[in-house]
Structure 1
Amino acid sequence: MEASAQTNRTDPVRLKDYRPTPYAIRTIDLDVRLDPENTTVTARSRIEPREGTAPGTPLVLDGDELILTSVAIDGRALGTADYEATDKRLEIFAPPAGAFTLEVGTRIAPAKNTKLMGLYRTASNYCTQCEAEGFRRITYFYDRPDVLAVYTTRIEARKAEAPYLLSNGNLIERGDIAGTDRHFAVWHDPFPKPAYLFALVGGDFARISDTFRTMSGRDVTLEIYVEHGREDRGAYAMDSLKRSMKWDEEAFGREYDLDIFMIVAVSDFNMGAMENKGLNVFNDKYVLAKPDTATDQDYANIEGVIAHEYFHNWTGNRITCRDWFQLCLKEGLTVFRDQEFSSDQRSRPVKRISDVRLLKSHQFPEDAGPLAHPVRPETYHEINNFYTATVYEKGSEVVRMLKTLLGAETFRAGMDLYFARHDGDAATIEDFVACFAEASGRDLSQFMLWYKQSGTPELRVAQGYDASAKRYTLTIEQSCPPTPGQPTKLPMTIPVRFGLVGPNGADLAFEAVSGAEVAGDVIVVTEPKHEVVFEGVSAPPVPSLLRGFSAPVRLALELSAEASLFLLASDNDPFNRWQAAQTLATTALIEATRAVRAGAVPSIDPKLVDAFARVAVDDKVDPAFRALTLALPAEADIAREIGSDVDPDAIFAGRDALKKAIATGGRTAFRHLYESLASAEAYSPDAASAGRRALRNSALDYLAHAGETDSVMERYRTADNMTDRLAALGLVVGLGLPEAEAALIDFYSRFDGDGLVIDKWFTVQATAPLAATLDRVRALTEHPAFSLTNPNRFRSLVTAFATGNQTQFNRPDGAGYAFVADHVLTLDEINPQVAARLLSAFRSWRALEPRRRAYAEAELKRVLDKPGLSRDVADIANRSLG
């Protein structure tokens, strides 16, 4: 990566080209005078050449849509012969030989910034988003993560317009400006940070305050800023923050380091949240919650995202990335940390299943399609397009494998070494993994392939048992399919947690094992093929492999339906009990899909129906676990398993047939379950209560598919919380019941004006698998509550249709593809980031049957042919067409 500005790049950025900047920026003092149309920014930076930089080397800084108003060095204004400035870059031809102070003045218009990157307006407030390359939209700077500076920020604004002026660090001065209607605040962040972590907020908010005492006895002020009138929705976010701070002290020894920690909730935000040092800016959907407006999933998301952004204080802020290729170093690691936090706060097995479902539904298709890339990519055209499930979710799985391989104690030692060695650094994956190699004494060079190779590895496993010798053999072969730019793959290090389940449901002991490294209950697969031999196994076992989903791989193990039913009933690993149910259901769904395509009526095994009914009423098992087990694999999951020549309509019909068969065969069990879980207790978002609601709503879903639709409308009318009300509304609309229109009108009238709830109203309609849905979605784009410029509104309708409605997005006439492509082209002019993410809905187009495949390809080409297409969208289109 060269030191010069990258904004106008057309050639890819390559990891191998990384070079440090010729100059370091040690401090930056910002003076920001806020105005909707004419904000002025003065940046005074202390700059010095790095060792080896030749005197006179030009200083080239990044910019984007900036207007330069002044430039000076050491107080001397530069002439036009001394520099060249465009809206995209500033080049100082011959800077001084030693250290110097550069002062740059720029002018920007936040109210016109629809990209929501840099400084922009949200409602009547000012807000910044600088990751990944937004700071260059505020001032000219080295806008890259390896340039760390100490920031002091003075903010000035009209006091009536922005009574709160916030930035990173600690507040050191504030006051009114005599003779004016303006005031100012000065913030100082003593910890050097890259530009992407800069934040500024100015506006009129309601403030929620609390304190937290750290493990060393310091009192930290906690503040959450929300829209006026929403103060009652911030309590759970504050509680989540305090629990996150305590957990990070206990689990990783990490104490917060500033005097204040602030969260600001805004309604216009491209992402979920941003971990800016000491001032986290959040999409308000991940802050605001109360029982009648937020679902249990919303509460869980708030808890997880609050934790994630807070945990970044150490894994991302105190230790940041050397370059954007190392993005998983902060994101994958921090996802692992927030998953562990939520596992400790809630049910660890349920959280693990939920995380794996997300991985398989989002990351596995990414790995199998044209957008596949390694956890640490080697090249990119547009870094915004690499905030992906591979970087986040698969990146987390790689960290989890390290813990599995090394054990909890050694893993903690490696983390402690990482924090001690690299605090204040812009680090790399090599730096991170080296700490674990040193702490464990283990060679992790092969493990590094998880960061370098794309694609989902497959383990093919065969088994054999010799009764006379009491010998059990597992033959394990690994492979990884070709992916873009990587036609061949090297064998990986794959930890396979296992158990050998005996006839009584308990794990069988063994006397010795050979053929691979086995540490406790983990087989370490490193070769293309292992023959793992267990001696002294007293009875033929049923293998329980990949317990806890110990590696992000596909497992090909032929088990009979009886063996899977046995694991579902008996395995002491909760994840593999759930996986057994998924395996049984997936097999049945594929067979049902094939029957539909052949023009036949699907035949459903009564044993499977009975197994689901027994799960429903097994009150010895956690309700949340039962709810997850009863949830059939989604249509997209079945499409992924089929792999090619996919017909979404046939998948839907096959899944519907299986669901109705389970619903009809288990009607008595589901009715009993539904009635037994009725509760008069007040709503609580705790995990146990949420689990009971999830299970009751699962029972309601099956009853509805058995024809008991009166229960659904009763549930809608009597619901006292959003979880139950939305579950019922989804069934009413999704099943096309006669009461759907009245229910939609009622829901809207109850929550008119509450954007976060109206988003749910849009999504329920966009995801209904009905022939009329596309026309309805088209009409809803003209609804007064819809907005192209608000990412939440747009995602709730158009993106929800594209990603959450397999039959209607993939309509056989191609109309769904055309509708989405139209909106990609329209939104590209407004917000390229959101447009590019929408276009990635086409990622699995090559797996479709020929007719749909041709329509999808034509729409991708139409998008790519648009003159002036943004770099964000062009990158996705080019890679998708590959």
Structure 2
Amino acid sequence: MREATAVVIRREDYAPPPYWIRTVELTFDLDPAKTIVTSRMQIERNEAVPAQPLKLHGEDLNLLRVLANGESVSFRHEDGCLVIDNPPPAPFTLEVRNTCAPEKNTQLSGLYTSGGGFFTQCEAQGFRRITYFLDRPDVMSVYTVTLRADKAKYPVLLSNGNLIEQGDLEGGRHYAKWHDPFPKPSYLFALVAANLVCREQKIRARSGREHLLQVYVRAGDLDKTEHAMRSLMASIAWDEARFGLSLDLDRFMIVAVSDFNMGAMENKGLNIFNTKYVLANPATATDTDYSGIESVVGHEYFHNWTGNRVTCRDWFQLSLKEGLTVFRDQEFSQDLAGSPSARAVKRIDDVRLLRQHQFPEDAGPMAHPVRPDSYVAIDNFYTATVYDKGAEVVRMMQTLVGREGFARGMTLYFQRHDGQAVTCDDFAQAIADANPGSPLAERLEQFKRWYSQAGTPRVTSRGHYNAETQTYTLELSQHCPPTPGQADKQPFVIPVAMGLIGRDGLPLPLQLVGESAPVGTDRVLVLHEATQRYEFVGLEVEPVPSLLRGFSAPVVLEDTLSDAELLILLAHDCDPFNRWEAGQRLALNRLLAAIKGDGRLHLDEPFLDAMKAVLHHPALDPAFKELVLTLPSESYIAEQLEQVDPQRIHTVRETMRLQLAQCLHADWEWAFEHHQVQGGYSPEPGQAGRRALANLALGYLCLAAAEKNLPVWPGKAYQRFKDATNMTDRLGALAALVGAHHDLAEVALERFHQMFKDEALVIDKWFALQATAPEKEGRVFTRVKQLMAHPDFSLRNPNRARSLINALCFSNPAAFHRADAAGYVFWADRVLELDAINPQLAARLARALDRWKQLAEPYRSAAREAIARVAAKAELSDDVREIVTRALAE
């Protein structure tokens, strides 16, 4: 904790390291209270940098000894660093011996204990909490690691790379020695010492090389590891097939731990995972959980090349690895989905996530470019902008050079930079150089504004049809609103995938003025100026434009499409994303009209008929139908408004939900009955889609029944809850009862808890379901406060804290934003309480009020007061102080 103003780190101040650490030998004598760490580093001068003192980062360490070439050396401490002003002539060997206290490490950064074992998390700057080191990503070293510990308590000893030696020691202890032949930065170091069991699988790569895959979990969880192992095998096969990238170690290990700040960590050869993204069986995990495991396992494995073999020069380049690897895991999941419809569902899910989290970030006080220019705490920049918008930037590159061209660019990237720490510019240059003549290569410098300019561009489209000349003129304009520190934005390069559709729903041929013949029915327009016009010829009927197909750029599209035109797109567009988007806009238009008007909403027949048509459409997949018929979230609705009254939004949206439930009652009954899954459980997309639509229907049926106090459907839901053979259906039935606030919900919640009280991840779902229930008369907020005192609740476990507190503050606006300000008081109390334990977790919670200036009164003043109360705390972590200071800035 710090009282003084924290230091701002700026990208423009980057300087190469004055020293290299070529090899490091680490020895750990593991003890929860006092672990002894001995580090022997081979240090060389960086001759390109003027001579200067050697500064090694360290935090919360007890220094025992410092030797240079075996002799004592003079040193001092300065700003958390161990400084040697006059190191011996390089190269030389530096030995540092220190202790740390893993059991006291509640931050879960560095070396800590969980469930009786030792685990590490070193990204971004956790290694300095283990031993003194040049803890920066551009210092890459070859590691040899020896672990020594009590054999009975810690029978499994793991670290990066390949196991080269192991054996017993005196006093019931044992050791294991690991060597990683690939140079890596310290943030990729990992160790695990615990009592674990293992699922193993041997595979043979296309090269003929054999590898051992291992998934380590606590005893009792082995039956929940099959899907994670299958996902790992699929990831390895996909990366070889799609990009020619092979596994480069003899073994690849995944370890699951219940106390973890993030989802998972890509440490070289030893990935440490939050249990949430490893453990799954049909009884305890939903279809969404299975999908999440597949995605995260893929993501961390793909980091082996995009992040590990080629890493970041500095932390400003974080999206070099994260944005690229999110793109890769999205492509992986889409390819595994198989059918075009299942691929589209995955794409829509990814865009919903982007809009839900990244677009608000771009519009708030924490807005920053994909490649930030400055930070106080780097942990605060593991953001939706770096990850998800960064992935969209990579996707635009693929759109501009084509799928094969992108693969060529990836090959060139690794040819140039394997084993190096590089920048986002280096990646973009490789993709462009591999595709000369492409729109990316021709406008590379302008395209790179996506890395340097914050904010979400807004693309305005206007169309005019001339019946006499049978031409259609499309005008596209772009502008980007100001963001903190960036008032004026230059035009981006924006790929706009598009098509034109006739009023009869048929796709129209696309021929621009100057072209000799039509070129298909879809194409990509490259918008690179403030305004551009495109004239299409040979059109006998007035078209309906279908723009930004597949969400080809992370922008907000503003057009003048009428309800009638949106209905045409919903019914006929061959692009699934725009078909879904049309349905969402039809619902959003009605919601916004009521919110901005007198608050009354009455659904019209054309809208209801369109929803019925989607529900009964024989050619549409159930998963797609579920997406179309799920209303825009309250948070997304809020982002469309200049002044936000969360209670008004909630009331209007609940009114629409109820009217959909009542007006389509017979259709929901049909949907529920006709989408039951017969046979054994599988998380494959076909089954998952049927379950999703059936559970949506059940929710609507219970809502309608609760309004009229009819017992039939709540009774069926409760029976389904009791009889379900998988967690997706059981939780879906429980959610239907909880969402309708039916009396049976209390009985079902108690029964659910008794059934799964020993399954931590399932109890997380139990907490989250109650925290995200639709607010009604203050019941949900009151319930959350009561659950804080539940014996199963703990602030120290990140999953549990997120399942209740973050779920309320981020995912339930009506329960959080209360007129009496009780939600903001609750938020401030929890931020301060968490900050004393785990600053990373506290800082993420602090982001819940990023958009307080958008709120109407009395919420706005009350929210500001809560933020100011947190900011006034003298001892506050850099992580939280940066968030609240930026939030309060005018």
Q: TM-score, normalised by structure 1?
A: 0.97
What letter matches 2:402 in structure 1?
A: G
Structure 2 distance, partners of 1:717, 1:163, is 40
Q: Deviations over 1:443-484 (max 9, x none)?
A: 311000001111100011110001111110011110000000
| Residue number in structure 1 paired with 2:387 | 392
What letter matches 1:543 in structure 2?
A: P
What letter matches 2:667 in structure 1?
A: A
Unaligned runs of 5+ in 1: 1-5
Structure 1 residue 87 displacement after superposition: 8.9
Change (3 A) 1:514 1:805: farther
Asked if 1 retains the 8 angstrom alpha-carbon contact of 2:17 and 2:49, the reply is: no
Are residue 371 (structure 1) and residue 378 (structure 2) matched? no
Q: Deviations over 1:276-302 (max 9, x none)?
A: 000000000100001111000000000
Q: Deviations over 1:498-525 (max 9, x none)?
A: 001123322211333479xx99600000
Structure 1 residue 209 displacement after superposition: 0.5
| Residue number in structure 1 paired with 2:728 | 723
Asked if 2 retains the 8 angstrom alpha-carbon contact of 1:119 and 1:137, the reply is: yes
What letter matches 1:243 in structure 2?
A: A
Asked if 2 retains the 8 angstrom alpha-carbon contact of 1:748 and 1:761, the reply is: yes
Change (3 A) 1:514 1:701: farther
Are residue 121 (structure 1) and residue 122 (structure 2) matched? no
Structure 1 residue 538 displacement after superposition: 2.3
What letter matches 1:505 in structure 2?
A: G
After superposition, residues 508-657 of structure 1 pair within 5 angstroms as 508-513=508-513, 521-595=523-597, 598=598, 600-642=599-641, 644-657=642-655
SS across alignment from 2:7: coil
SS across alignment from 2:355: helix
Change (3 A) 1:304 1:680: same
Structure 1 residue 417 displacement after superposition: 0.3
Structure 1 residue 53 displacement after superposition: 4.1
Figure out how many residues of one structure are paired with residues of the other and give that number.
866
Structure 1 residue 8 displacement after superposition: 9.3
Are residue 107 (structure 1) and residue 114 (structure 2) matched? no
Are residue 84 (structure 1) and residue 76 (structure 2) matched? yes
Structure 2 distance, partners of 1:482, 1:162, is 54
Structure 1 residue 858 displacement after superposition: 0.4
Asked if 2 retains the 8 angstrom alpha-carbon contact of 1:63 and 1:87, the reply is: no
After superposition, residues 267-416 of structure 1 pair within 5 angstroms as 267-346=258-337, 347-416=342-411
What letter matches 1:83 in structure 2?
A: F
Structure 2 distance, partners of 1:588, 1:65, is 56
Structure 2 distance, partners of 1:510, 1:390, is 34
Structure 1 residue 77 displacement after superposition: 2.1
Structure 2 distance, partners of 1:872, 1:483, is 21
Are residue 737 (structure 1) and residue 735 (structure 2) matched? no
Asked if 1 retains the 8 angstrom alpha-carbon contact of 2:254 and 2:273, the reply is: yes
Asked if 2 retains the 8 angstrom alpha-carbon contact of 1:206 and 1:227, the reply is: yes
Structure 1 residue 669 displacement after superposition: 1.4
Structure 2 distance, partners of 1:435, 1:514, is 33
Structure 1 distance, partners of 2:7, 2:316, is 16
| Residue number in structure 2 paired with 1:832 | 839
Structure 1 residue 766 displacement after superposition: 1.0
Q: Which runs of 4+ in 1 moved over 4 A?
A: 6-9
Are residue 255 (structure 1) and residue 255 (structure 2) matched? no
Q: Indicate the RMSD between aligned Cα atoms, in angstroms.
A: 1.5
| Residue number in structure 1 paired with 2:693 | 695
Are residue 41 (structure 1) and residue 43 (structure 2) matched? no
Are residue 844 (structure 1) and residue 835 (structure 2) matched? no
What letter matches 1:45 in structure 2?
A: M
Structure 2 distance, partners of 1:53, 1:510, is 57
Asked if 2 retains the 8 angstrom alpha-carbon contact of 1:613 and 1:662, the reply is: no
Change (3 A) 1:844 1:547: same
Change (3 A) 1:216 1:721: same
| Residue number in structure 2 paired with 1:3 | none
Asked if 1 retains the 8 angstrom alpha-carbon contact of 2:311 and 2:421, the reply is: yes
Q: Deviations over 1:518-547 (max 9, x none)?
A: 996000000000111112222111000000
Asked if 2 retains the 8 angstrom alpha-carbon contact of 1:864 and 1:874, the reply is: yes
Asked if 1 retains the 8 angstrom alpha-carbon contact of 2:471 and 2:536, the reply is: yes
SS across alignment from 1:803: helix
| Residue number in structure 1 paired with 2:710 | none
Structure 1 residue 605 displacement after superposition: 1.6
Change (3 A) 1:228 1:533: same
SS across alignment from 1:706: helix
Asked if 1 retains the 8 angstrom alpha-carbon contact of 2:55 and 2:81, the reply is: yes
Asked if 2 retains the 8 angstrom alpha-carbon contact of 1:508 and 1:538, the reply is: no
Asked if 1 retains the 8 angstrom alpha-carbon contact of 2:699 and 2:739, the reply is: no
Structure 1 distance, partners of 2:3, 2:157, is 30
What letter matches 1:190 in structure 2?
A: P
Structure 2 distance, partners of 1:798, 1:412, is 42
Asked if 2 retains the 8 angstrom alpha-carbon contact of 1:414 and 1:436, the reply is: yes
Asked if 2 retains the 8 angstrom alpha-carbon contact of 1:613 and 1:670, the reply is: no
Structure 1 residue 682 displacement after superposition: 1.4
Structure 1 distance, partners of 2:513, 2:499, is 13
Structure 1 residue 11 displacement after superposition: 2.3
Structure 1 residue 783 displacement after superposition: 1.1
Structure 1 residue 594 displacement after superposition: 2.8
| Residue number in structure 2 paired with 1:757 | 762
Structure 2 distance, partners of 1:416, 1:249, is 12
Asked if 2 retains the 8 angstrom alpha-carbon contact of 1:457 and 1:478, the reply is: yes
Asked if 1 retains the 8 angstrom alpha-carbon contact of 2:3 and 2:876, the reply is: no
Tell me which of 165, 172, 179 is aligned to 1:173.
Answer: 165
Asked if 2 retains the 8 angstrom alpha-carbon contact of 1:126 and 1:201, the reply is: yes
SS across alignment from 2:36: strand
Structure 1 distance, partners of 2:9, 2:677, is 57
Query: Which deviates more from structure 2 when the two are superposed, residues 662-671 or residues 16-25?
Result: 662-671
Unaligned runs of 5+ in 2: 706-712
Structure 1 residue 593 displacement after superposition: 2.0
Asked if 2 retains the 8 angstrom alpha-carbon contact of 1:748 and 1:758, the reply is: yes
Q: Deviations over 1:235-279 (max 9, x none)?
A: 000000000000000011100000000000000000000000000
Asked if 1 retains the 8 angstrom alpha-carbon contact of 2:677 and 2:687, the reply is: no
Asked if 2 retains the 8 angstrom alpha-carbon contact of 1:592 and 1:657, the reply is: no
SS across alignment from 1:20: coil
What letter matches 2:461 in structure 1?
A: V
Are residue 710 (structure 1) and residue 712 (structure 2) matched? no
Structure 2 distance, partners of 1:67, 1:53, is 31
Structure 2 distance, partners of 1:622, 1:262, is 37
Q: Deviations over 1:644-671 (max 9, x none)?
A: 2211111111111112222222111111
After superposition, residues 193-212 of structure 1 pair within 5 angstroms as 193-212=184-203
| Residue number in structure 2 paired with 1:453 | 453
| Residue number in structure 2 paired with 1:98 | 90
| Residue number in structure 1 paired with 2:26 | 30
Structure 2 distance, partners of 1:244, 1:561, is 43
| Residue number in structure 2 paired with 1:784 | 791
Structure 1 residue 850 displacement after superposition: 2.0
Structure 1 residue 414 displacement after superposition: 0.8
Asked if 2 retains the 8 angstrom alpha-carbon contact of 1:67 and 1:87, the reply is: no
| Residue number in structure 1 paired with 2:60 | 65
Asked if 2 retains the 8 angstrom alpha-carbon contact of 1:473 and 1:532, the reply is: yes
Query: Which deviates more from structure 2 when the two are superposed, residues 410-419 or residues 351-360?
Result: 410-419
What letter matches 2:305 in structure 1?
A: W
| Residue number in structure 1 paired with 2:236 | 245
What letter matches 1:462 in structure 2?
A: R
Asked if 2 retains the 8 angstrom alpha-carbon contact of 1:514 and 1:534, the reply is: no
Structure 1 residue 829 displacement after superposition: 0.5
Structure 1 distance, partners of 2:299, 2:289, is 15
Are residue 131 (structure 1) and residue 126 (structure 2) matched? no
